[in-house]
Amino acid sequence: MSKVIVLGASGTLGLHVVAQALSAGHDVTAVARTPSKLPRTVAERVRVVQADIVKLTQEDLADVINGHNALINTAGHVTEGEGFVQVVAQAIAAVSLLEGAQRPRCWFLGGAAALDIQDTEVRAAQLPFVKKTYWPHLANWAALKASELEWNLLCPGPLVEQEPLGLVRMRIGYERMPVAFPGYARYLPRTLLVPLFAVRVPQLIISYADAASIMLADLGKGSPHARKRVGVALPEGMVGTKEKWTAQKKLA
3-state secondary structure 174-203: ECECCCCCCHHHHHCCHHHHHHHHHCCHHH
Report yes or no: 113 and 123 within 8 Å, Cβ to Cβ: yes
Supply the CATH number for residue 60's domain. 3.40.50.720
* Confidence label for 1 from pLDDT (cuts 50, 70 and 90): confident
Q: What is the pLDDT of residues 131-156, one digit of tens each?
A: 999 999 999 999 999 999 999 999 99
What is the number of structural domains in the chain? Answer: 1
- Nearest-angstrom CA–CA distance, 226 and 38: 30
Residue 246 confidence (pLDDT): 63
Whether residue 168 lies inside any domain: the answer is: yes
CA distances from 180 to 64, 168, 196, 233, 249 (A): 42, 19, 10, 11, 14
Q: What is the pLDDT of residues 201-215, one digit of tens each?
A: 999 999 999 999 999
Residue 119 confidence (pLDDT): 85
Whether residue 23 lies inside any domain: the answer is: yes
Whether residue 252 lies inside any domain: the answer is: no
Total residue length of the chain: 252
Phi-psi region of 123 (alpha: psi -120 to 50; beta: other; left: phi over 0): beta
How much is the pTM? 0.95
Residue ranges making up the domain that contains 234? 3-247
Q: Which residues pair with 106 in a beta bridge?
A: 71, 151
Closest CA to 237 of 248, 223, 222: 248
